Structure 1
Amino acid sequence: MDDSAKFLTVAQQLLTEQGVGVVGVAFDSSQALTQLDVLRPDVILVDVGLGDESGFDLAERIAGHNGSNGWPTETILISTRTEEDLRDLVEDSPAAGYLEKVALSAQAIRNLLAPRCR
């Protein structure tokens, strides 16, 4: 989920080419939460800065939603900011982890989720 249509297009194309099934995209929190029940993604990428919204708040809402619908969706926070800038906030969130947008790849997602899948 990202508020930049250009980034969503590029990320969707990149991940699809790398073998990741992208089931949907969302531009805001409301759209993302609505799609959770319908699309049932395994992973949702959430931009930290969503204009007027916070990706950290959305990660909390997704975690609460997971408990109510029984469908476990992992959240990965993404941003153009460095991991060091956001480390404490990411650690305090229910997200599986954080990726800088420039490092986004199918392998980076797998590496981040690997410890949780054991």
Structure 2
Amino acid sequence: MVRCLIVDDSRRFAEAASALLERQGLQVVGVAANGPDALRLAQQLRPDVTLLDIDLGGESGFEVARRLQRETASPIILISTHAEQDYRDLIAASTVLGFLPKAALSAAAIHLLLQGN
């Protein structure tokens, strides 16, 4: 079973995504709303994948991704309500596993990105 950490500043989205992914067979091991909590939980829980919102209120998801990748070995999938083309260059320049629009988030999409790694 894939163990995932969700990092999103919207509690409503994090709860809905957790419920959806759990129903689809993933294990959501933690939820963080900001970079420091994400780093602490990733180090403590060692998820198989981290789903990271690009826009964390006042924080850049890209900067949080850099810190997570420096400190943990968890693959990162960026998520957003914005279209991928809005961030295409930043995503391409990063070392994240991939990008998923929040509307397309599913266990199957996560598995596809993990298998492509």
TM bin, normalised by shorter chain, reads over 0.9
Aligned to 2:28: 22
By how many angstroms is 1:113 displaced? 1.6
Aligned to 1:69: none
Question: Over alpha carbons, which structure has the higher Rg?
Answer: 1
Aligned to 1:89: 90
User: Residue 102 of structure 1: SS of its match in structure 2?
Assistant: helix
TM-score of the aligned structures, taking structure 2 as reference length: 0.92
Aligned to 1:77: 78
By how many angstroms is 1:53 displaced? 0.1
Two-structure CA RMSD over aligned residues (Å)? 0.7
Greater strand percent: which structure?
A: 2
AA matched with 1:99: L
AA matched with 1:63: Q
Q: Which runs of 5+ in 1 are unaligned?
A: 67-71
* Runs of 4+ off more than 2 Å: none
TM-score of the aligned structures, taking structure 1 as reference length: 0.91
Instruction: Kindly indicate whether residue 114 of structure 2 is the aligned counterpart of residue 113 of structure 1.
Output: yes
1:49 to 45, 48, 55: 55
User: Residue 37 of structure 1: SS of its match in structure 2?
Assistant: helix
Q: Which runs of 5+ in 2 are unaligned?
A: 1-6
CA deviation vs aligned residue, 1:13-61 (integer Å, no higher than 9, x gap):
0000000010000011111101112111010010000111000001100
- Percent identity between matched residues is 48
